[in-house]
Structure 1
Amino acid sequence: MDVRFSWVDVFAERPLTGNPLAVVPDADGLSDERMRAIAREFNQSETTFLVRPDLPGADHRLRSFTPGGAEVLGAGHNAMGAWIWLARSGLLDPGRDAFVQQIGGDTLPVRIVSRGEGGARVAMEQAAPRFPGPVDARDALAAALALDPADLAADRVPEVASTGVAHLLVPARDARAVDLADPDPARLRRLLADVGAEGCYLYTVDTAGLPPGVDAYARFFNPTVGIAEDPATGTAAGPLAAVLVRDGLKREGEAVTVEQGRAMGRPSRIGLTVGGGAVRITGSGVVVAEGTLHL
């Protein structure tokens, strides 16, 4: 059985930056077990499979798996990369730019912003923001991240937030503190389980030393699904943008830019807007490889 795939660098303007994603089209003939095995073979943070939708109005259904076999139900780089591939594949009506994707039991709108020769730019909505509440574990969080409590921001509190997937947002004092983090996976995994979060988004809104136009700098750790660090995480940047607007640090409808991945040598820019009860995420990407699995 031959299974074709493509490799997409997501939230990237050029190859070998951003967050890499393996995309497997025409995946209806693959069992869940085979999808998980393929995701394990690629060993990237996520692999996305395109299958026929089973909800009314959906144009494409996406199923994404981590190397550990967990299915990802949020709309982040896993979905962005699939639509970048679709925009470059010739499978989408060139006269149409609005589509609907199915992820799990939800349908979410997607818009193809541009289809350039080298890549594409895509905008999509995430689920409505939810803010389950603050987390009173400052010292434990600092210890799990190998930081001093003073490295965490004094004027903001850690909290769980979600636009499809619940993540723990941890505010740091500055970019240096973000870069200093060296998480203990077991310790962080226990803490995340205690607060009902999947991953940890360590961020700062101190823009001193950050590139112009960047509103927050972040790193993402997700030991609960076997991801040591991820270079670009849309399902975490979305809740962060919602929190910044809720707290008055950004205005509703104003562009929010999150930089991530610098510590991994894969700088990524994630664009977001928050308004009308929805979070919209925008990103570009390039298809960098294509191949065939011989199974």
Structure 2
Amino acid sequence: MNVPFFWVDVFATAPLAGNPLALVPDADALTTETMQAIAREFNQSETTFLVRPTLPGADHRLRSFTPGGFEVLGAGHNAMGAWLWLAASGRLDEDGGQYVQQIGEELLPVTATLDRAGRAVVTMQQSEPRFLTAVAGERRGALAAVLGLDATDLGDDRAAQVVSTGAEHLLVPARNPDAVDTAQPDTAGLREFLADVGAEGCYLYTTAVEPGSGIDAYARFFNPTVGIVEDPATGTAAGPLAALLVRDGLAREGAPITVEQGTALGRPSRIGLQVDDAVVTISGTGIIVGEGVLHL
């Protein structure tokens, strides 16, 4: 069996930036076990497979796996890259349009448009925000320790909290960008801490950014739960962060929100978001930088 695949740099405006995604279209002939094995072969944070929908009303169904075989059910760079490829490959209307994607058992709206440079821009709706476990008091020091930080490196004006717009991630406020960049997580310790608070990954962020920088928050993402040491652009974490910033009055409802991530990895990414009532949308563009064929 020959299996075509593509390489997409998501949340990027130039090659070799953003978050790389391996994409396998027309993957209906592949078993779940084969998909997981391919994800291990590519060894990227996520590999996405396009398959036929199983729910009425869906235009495309996406299945995404980490190298450890974990299926990702949120709509982040895994889904963004798939829709960017669909647009670039001529499988969507030339001038964009509105579509529905199936991820797991959920149907989520997607819009494709073109920017001034003629590049596809994809906007996806995430699941309704859920604000879950807060981490405060004595646990705050333990959290700082597993991140390789001092308690004074964490923001002291609000607690870390687990928030989900499709995937549960622990959002941890830091004092400034230097504190974010200084973090060196203890993988085993962080994995245990995340399991204890009911979270999958950890989004370390700060809103103490330079005025005029064009960003609202600066972040890094660690997910030892599924074997990701650090991810350069994480839509399933940026969405919850946008919802949290609006809830806490740190960003305006209905206004564009931009999160910068991946700078520490040399893959700078800017993730565009917006929160309207309980609706979180994420926007981005990207570039197809490679293609090939797996001979299985």
- The code of the aligned residue for 1:153 comes to G
Give the structure 1 partner of residue 151 of structure 2.
149
Asked if residue 32 in structure 1 is aligned to residue 32 in structure 2, the reply is: yes
For the 8 Å contact 1:87–1:115, the answer to whether it is kept is no
Alignment map for 1:70-89 (pairs within 5 Å):
70-89=70-89
Are residues 294 and 264 of structure 1, via their aligned partners in 2, closer, same or farther at CA, if it must alter by over 3 Å? same
For the 8 Å contact 2:95–2:113, the answer to whether it is kept is no
Mapped to 2, the partners of 1:277 and 1:34 lie a distance apart of: 37
Pick aligned residue for 1:174 from 173, 176, 179: 176
Deviation at 1:257, TM superposition (A): 0.3
Deviation at 1:135, TM superposition (A): 1.3
Q: Deviations over 1:93-132 (max 9, x none)?
A: 3255100000000000000021788742110100000001
Give the structure 2 partner of residue 267 of structure 1.
268
Give the structure 1 partner of residue 238 of structure 2.
237
Give the structure 1 partner of residue 214 of structure 2.
213
Deviation at 1:91, TM superposition (A): 1.4
For the 8 Å contact 2:96–2:111, the answer to whether it is kept is no
Q: Deviations over 1:6-27 (max 9, x none)?
A: 0000000010000000000010
SS in 2 for 1:79: helix
SS in 2 for 1:212: coil
Give the structure 1 partner of residue 292 of structure 2.
291
For the 8 Å contact 1:172–1:178, the answer to whether it is kept is yes
Give the structure 2 partner of residue 223 of structure 1.
224
Mapped to 2, the partners of 1:23 and 1:125 lie a distance apart of: 20
Q: Deviations over 1:238-283 (max 9, x none)?
A: 0000000001111110110000000000000000000031100000
Give the structure 2 partner of residue 193 of structure 1.
195
Give the structure 2 partner of residue 58 of structure 1.
58
State TM-score, norm by structure 1.
Answer: 0.97
SS in 1 for 2:48: strand
SS in 2 for 1:67: coil
Where do 5+ consecutive residues of structure 2 fail to align? none
Give the structure 1 partner of residue 18 of structure 2.
18
For the 8 Å contact 1:119–1:287, the answer to whether it is kept is no
Mapped to 2, the partners of 1:11 and 1:271 lie a distance apart of: 9
Indicate the percent of aligned positions where both proteins have the same amino acid. Answer: 68
SS in 2 for 1:133: strand
SS in 2 for 1:121: strand
For the 8 Å contact 1:166–1:196, the answer to whether it is kept is yes
Mapped to 1, the partners of 2:262 and 2:117 lie a distance apart of: 25
SS in 1 for 2:229: strand
Give the structure 2 partner of residue 248 of structure 1.
249
Mapped to 2, the partners of 1:198 and 1:133 lie a distance apart of: 12
Runs of 4+ more than 6 Å apart? 115-118
SS in 1 for 2:243: helix
Where do 5+ consecutive residues of structure 1 fail to align? none
Select between 87-96 and 24-33 the one with higher mean Cα deviation: 87-96
Give the structure 2 partner of residue 135 of structure 1.
135
Q: Deviations over 1:165-196 (max 9, x none)?
A: 00000000000000000000000000000000
For the 8 Å contact 1:129–1:162, the answer to whether it is kept is yes
SS in 1 for 2:254: coil
For the 8 Å contact 1:101–1:110, the answer to whether it is kept is yes
State TM-score, norm by structure 2.
Answer: 0.97
Q: Deviations over 1:117-169 (max 9, x none)?
A: 87421101000000013113211111001101000011121000000000000
Q: In angstroms, what is the RMSD of aligned CA positions?
A: 1.3
SS in 2 for 1:55: coil
SS in 2 for 1:26: coil
For the 8 Å contact 1:110–1:125, the answer to whether it is kept is yes
- The code of the aligned residue for 1:246 comes to R
SS in 2 for 1:84: helix
Mapped to 2, the partners of 1:29 and 1:154 lie a distance apart of: 52
Number of residue pairs matched?
294
Give the structure 1 partner of residue 109 of structure 2.
109
SS in 1 for 2:285: strand
Mapped to 1, the partners of 2:67 and 2:19 lie a distance apart of: 15
